[in-house]
Amino acid sequence: MVDVNNLKKGMIVIVDGHLYSVVDYDHLKMGRGGAVVRTKLKALDTDLIKEVTFRAGERLEEAEVEWKHAQYLYNDGLNYYFMLIDNYEQINLSEEEIGDNKYYLLDNLEVDISMYKGRPLSLRLPTTVSLKVIETPPNFKGDTVSAGLKPATLETGLKTKVPMFIKEGDIIKVDTRDGSYVARV
């Protein structure tokens, strides 16, 4: 059991018998009434987000989630396949379960997979990944390093903004949390 005052983003809790991931939370202190905790919870089975308000001091059941270290193998169009590092067992996640994380998956990338009672739930990527730029407009005279940004398409299909000096074929580091450019490799 976990107190609603101690919730953290990404925590997996059980509400009304269903698994939810904490997307956001906010502690509100009322003038005369007691404090409340407003939360945004994402249902792990349907991906729907609902807002729930709890009174301060309420307790929720925290799901016992186990994190397994895995390596990305391949995608067959419907599912993404991973191999657990410790026992070489293969796990697959559907495209819906992967979501936008698919834009950061490269062969042999090591990730962490959350498991609940033997069922894979979600994926945790490294903070940055290195991807090759496959399409970006050419530079033009007057470009400088400190100039603005231009659009680029990366090898996984991710579209992001890069500095003007980046050209096709360059390998760049991308932040997996928001898809932003970090550095040229």
Could you report the per-residue pLDDT of 39-86, keeping only the tens digit for each? 999 888 777 889 999 988 899 998 888 989 999 999 998 899 999 999
Could you report the per-residue pLDDT of 100-112, keeping only the tens digit for each? 889 999 999 999 9
Same domain, yes or no: 49 and 81: no
Same domain, yes or no: 32 and 52: yes
CATH code of the domain covering residue 176:
2.40.50.140
Tell me the residue range of the domain where 23 lies: 2-62
Tell whether pTM > 0.85.
Answer: no
Same domain, yes or no: 71 and 35: no
Same domain, yes or no: 132 and 119: no
Same domain, yes or no: 137 and 176: yes
Same domain, yes or no: 145 and 171: yes
Burial of residue 9 (number of CB atoms within 10 Å: 0-12, 13-18, 19+): exposed
- Which of 27-31, 74-78, 131-135 reaches the highest mean pLDDT? 131-135
CATH code of the domain covering residue 35:
2.30.30.30
Tell me how far apart the 2 most distant CA atoms of the chain are, in Å.
64
Number of separate domains in the chain: 3
Domain boundary among 17, 44, 62: 62
Q: Which helix (H) or strand (E) holds 161?
A: strand 159-163
Q: For all residues of the chain together, what is the average pLDDT?
A: 88
